[in-house]
Chains A and B, each alone.
Chain A
């Protein structure tokens, strides 16, 4: 399996990368970890004329934590995401997603930005990032814009990214007191698996033993892109957390899910729906534990 021909560029800075993007436009693609892009090129699904490799730009590998939250460079590897103390301490569901992705070798190459840019609804990082309310910062030579991750995805394998734009940074706010999150994915194998369903849940309580102030539930593999389980979230707000209300949220999440019953997909639509219910309950359980745990 040979790669199609292309020109290789390795800019030293973000600005330089942006200039190249501006110059080559649609004929160029950004090469970060390459674990999706190079595979798709080998399979002749993509054949960009220019590859702009950004994985060596140090600025893109930062993890800046402040009292307000985190700024993560787009090229932070998935394994560094998984092992980062700063991330693991307060954003455990993101660590869990990173640990669930691919294999050790893939995690060492793959980047957080790449996992978002690919815009696969089976991807492991978007659910927790969306549940945490993360934003992406996009850069081009002309402008920089910041938007909620939720608005970044526009469809299956589609994003708002313009031809000359690249993902620069991911921002996550410091979680409010008494909040917690959970991530669960279901695959056939224990690792190296493209998921059948994945779910992340995030809840904030109004105090120890209090009611749920806000909730976000994000589901993967059950729509063209990651979906919010809005009706499940709604029913949780104002309620005391507990098994019964979580079960009800699970049922509503199943209704919020819109899996396609494609004949050749990894699982049937019915099974995916049912599993959304199971994983929603489980992730809410994890989130509740964290919200009432020692972390606050």
Chain B
């Protein structure tokens, strides 16, 4: 039976009626129109549906909408500010880290959490941080470079 819940997404509150068997992913995409979160495998293997929930990345295909109630959720749509794109988004654009773009949302969100925890990651650290996001286009090379470049830029920005 449907139940009305409140989801806190990108610092906005959404009241939605959801079925118990409805995933957070489907709710974001088909009910709230937040289609930046992608559906690639539906069983937690590809990472395209990655969102940030209470500060950590999760596969939103493996979270029930009802489980997400009361938690702070960030999707790719929540990364931009009035000033424009997040430094990671800018770095992905400038460094050529985006090809088909289907893994990009999840990849950027994983990188964001990685940099939150470790602003000066090594190459190995970056690879570990994005290891749950499969990409078939880039071989990850320019993605790693973009994350490194964003980390460098953000560090300078703070100084």
Contact = CB atoms under 8 A, between A and B. Distances in A.
Given A3-B23, A7-B20, A8-B20, A104 B131 contact: yes
Interface in B41-81: 42-45, 47, 50, 56-59, 62-64, 66-67
B21 interface: yes
A225 B132 CA distance: 27
Interface string A33-73: 11100110011000000010101000000000000000000
B27 interface: no
The residue in A4, A34, A103, A105 that gathers the most chain B C-beta atoms within 10 A of its C-beta is A105
The residue in A3, A38, A102, A103 that gathers the most chain B C-beta atoms within 10 A of its C-beta is A103
A193 B102 CA distance: 22
B62 A39 contact: yes
Interface in A67-118: 79, 102-106, 108-109
B67 A53 contact: yes
B62 A109 contact: yes
Nearest to B117: A83
The residue in A33, A35, A108, A192 that gathers the most chain B C-beta atoms within 10 A of its C-beta is A108
B110 A1 contact: no
B92 to A, nearest CB: 18
B42 A42 contact: yes
Nearest to B22: A3
A38 B58 CA distance: 14
In which size bucket is the chain B interface? 20 to 34
A10 B3 CA distance: 13
A5 B21 contact: yes
Interface of B: 1, 19-23, 42-45, 47, 50, 56-59, 62-64, 66-67, 110, 128-129, 131-132
A191 interface: yes
A4 B23 CA distance: 12
In the A-B complex, list the 4 residue pairs whose CB atoms are closest, starting with the nearest.
A103-B132, A8-B20, A3-B21, A108-B56
A6 interface: yes
Contacts of B59: 105-106, 109
B20 to A, nearest CB: 4
A265 interface: no
Given A102-B132, A106-B44, A109-B59, 6 more contacts: A5-B21, A34-B62, A38-B64, A39-B44, A53-B66, A191-B132
Contact of A104 (B1, B20, B42, B57): B57
Nearest to A80: B56
Contacts of A79: 56
A51 B20 contact: yes
25 contacts: A1-B43, A2-B21, A5-B20, A6-B21, A7-B1, A8-B64, A10-B66, A33-B62, A34-B62, A34-B63, A35-B62, A38-B64, A39-B62, A51-B20, A51-B64, A53-B66, A103-B131, A104-B57, A104-B128, A104-B131, A105-B58, A105-B59, A105-B110, A191-B128, A192-B132
Contacts of A39: 43-44, 62
Interface in A180-204: 190-192
B141 to A, nearest CB: 16
Contacts of A55: 67
Contacts of B20: 5-8, 51
The residue in B50, B64, B110 that gathers the most chain A C-beta atoms within 10 A of its C-beta is B64
A105 B43 contact: no
A22 B71 CA distance: 29
Contacts of A5: 19-21
Nearest to A9: B20
A8 B66 contact: yes
Contacts of A8: 20, 64, 66
Given A42-B42, A79-B56, A192 B63 contact: no
